[in-house]
Structure 1
């Protein structure tokens, strides 16, 4: 990724989220039905030549998990049941969303887009601190990246390895169906990208972590004391839950972990309404089709949530798991 001038995110006064005291705790409810494994059609913004190489699942996809082997020597895609197929060689990290996957090179950090078939990958840019996919008002999914030194946010043009700077310095970025967001390296405030290069709107103050699903942005207060949901305009937030260790979001789902035990809770779609669905894990991922994957604390197995507190093991050890 080419690093441009320090222009973009406009930093203003902090608007901190308020703390709350409602604990993230299970609620009495019937066992949920596992989420469907299909999702709306959304296409990545690419030029004609590359578009011809992308396979149909990348536009109208079923839920997939993609994992990196423990020694990071191979990339594997879940095909259902306990079946996995190798789709790539060594990688440093993986990023996924909306049926698309990118991997970074362990040699130089360059980023590659998976074609959706075999082990075919296309180099689309240089190294970055983090990458992610998000939709824009043009109806397409776009690939974004943060420069390695955090000096700028970039959007892939969809052609070759060319990127356009769309924002200035940022600490981290968060992507999902509700949009693309980035935090200020100066004060931790969080901003939403409007779709117009270098035009961002502040939506809140600092947080311990943020997560984005298809409808909303969620944040955990800096001290982990409460989970909040952005109201969708301005800098107003609504408390959505109490203390949490971390938050995860994707598809239509939102997860939070208990700060003491690490147990994982699923939000029922309303403020302060949560139910426990499992124990601790090293990581949790929610696919764009709302399936929930968990990596065990020791990273020795990949599990898929079946409803209630039931999980089934679908794969063995992995260093990284991401959900398309």
Structure 2
């Protein structure tokens, strides 16, 4: 997995190397299949696992039942008997080893769980306080309550002493809320999913001969202990954010402040009925507000440091523009043995690379993952010449001049620097979405989407901007989301938590320099967003894949037999040849 050279340590794993190996095997088997699709595909029979359980199977938190794993193998290799038998044997070996390791793992500590329940209750109180604080700030955006009546700064005081604005406080509050929600979700899982006795069948009725064992963990040593350590930092940070509200009325709306678990009545409020007569904050108060915000942000970073990857490496400068980065349309052959580049005219394609599982492209370059090892390679600009730049990752994404990755165990987001050097820039993530509008990650704890602020290496450098969604897409200017039930398309306004409905039901989203495209649920047609909410234009039937370049769109036919280019406007498409397993485009 990509990581800073010479600084990596073995990734933590909930159930040991055996569970990790099984989870990696399952992830490769189900590559390209969403959790919802897995849930629907295997709805019949004894195993009716939800999306969240499939996520646990893939992450290694829970062991998939052997019979279900063998069904996945059969579906993956329906016609290749030799491959099916070999993979089935490997599945049995990995499952046996993981189940044995799970049965021998240590039990959770009861005392730690008791303390964890107390800590979890306090986290809920802190989250409630933050939600009230955020509501106050959202309501106050656009007002000028902290600005002197004459519109200028007090005599003798420059911009450095201006009170922090609601937008800056709101960003800090959302960052703190995201951290608390992440700790809350982790602790709840540890407390509400007690370790089953060895051999207990969790996910299926009938015989225990094929148990769906949850991977045993010791939350008293990891999750709950980390939460207990974090509480002092989180408590102080919430208190300071509350202190930094720009008005006494706002602080009154948030309520009490919390310091080391004790509820203290505020002593700096004016008497009831005198709020309107309260004096405007003086220079000392302004300095204190700015200091409080600064300390709160520092505490966010310090607290996040405890849970971050211990080897972030040095913060790199932005990569210089890659003038040699290939541009155009690229495809992986149907047998995954070749990477091909379209000539730009007619139906002529050139083999430029070896076998590939996945292919992605952008201003940062053209990249492939090796189907055998999962290693990541970058195209050197000469057919047949590729350089290895990283080891396996859970996912890779190109945005602007940068390449990003999720570590193979899902615990961190990384940015490629150069060569084989990577820098950790964030904590756990489920999925990355990148484009001209920025880098966004789906939080495994909340299901919501967070935006990377562009610098820094801790969770405090990410801002929660929205709740869960079924899919996301990023173009040059905006982030888009598909509602969890896929019933509507939304566009992020740029302010955390504020979204606008722009479209109806869709099965998926695709975006790039050429715009935003969706596949209509009712008709199966590709729709192009016209830039006005609810205004969409059909441009043709959907296929197996869609690649959005800087200026046009390419479609892979449903049977993978050919690629075509949208002529636009209208519904005309020009065939440009070559069967393909997947396509990607940069122009």
148-157 vs 220-229, which moves further: 148-157
1:242 is aligned to 504
Contact 2:413 2:428 in 1 (8 A): yes
In terms of Rg, which structure is larger? 2
- Is there any run of 5+ residues in structure 2 with no aligned partner, and where? 13-174, 183-317
Count of matched residue positions in the alignment of Structure 1 and Structure 2? 277
2:485 is aligned to 223
Contact 2:517 2:526 in 1 (8 A): yes
Contact 1:277 1:309 in 2 (8 A): yes
265-274 vs 68-77, which moves further: 265-274
2:530 is aligned to 268
2:566 is aligned to 305
1:117 shift after superposition: 2.5
Q: Deviations over 1:73-129 (max 9, x none)?
A: 000011112111111010111111226210011121111111223222111111112
1:283 shift after superposition: 1.2
Contact 1:252 1:290 in 2 (8 A): yes
1:225 shift after superposition: 0.6
Do residues 192 (structure 1) and 456 (structure 2) align? Answer: no
1:115 is aligned to 380
2:472 is aligned to 210
Q: Whole-Å Cα distance in 2 between the matches of residues 253 and 129 of structure 1?
A: 27
Bigger relative contact order, structure 1 or 2 (CA pairs below 8 A, ≥6 apart): 1
SS at match of 2:507: coil
Q: Whole-Å Cα distance in 1 between the matches of residues 364 and 585 of structure 2?
A: 8
Correspondent of 1:258 among 496, 500, 520 = 520
1:72 is aligned to 336
Give the TM-score normalised by structure 1. 0.80
2:555 is aligned to 294
- Is there any run of 5+ residues in structure 1 with no aligned partner, and where? 15-43, 136-140
Give the TM-score normalised by structure 2. 0.45
1:25 is aligned to none
Q: Whole-Å Cα distance in 2 between the matches of residues 127 and 157 of structure 1?
A: 16
Contact 1:143 1:155 in 2 (8 A): yes
Q: Compare the two structures and name the one with the higher strand fraction.
A: 1
1:13 shift after superposition: 5.3
1:277 is aligned to 539
1:150 shift after superposition: 1.2
Contact 1:240 1:271 in 2 (8 A): yes
Q: Whole-Å Cα distance in 2 between the matches of residues 126 and 275 of structure 1?
A: 42
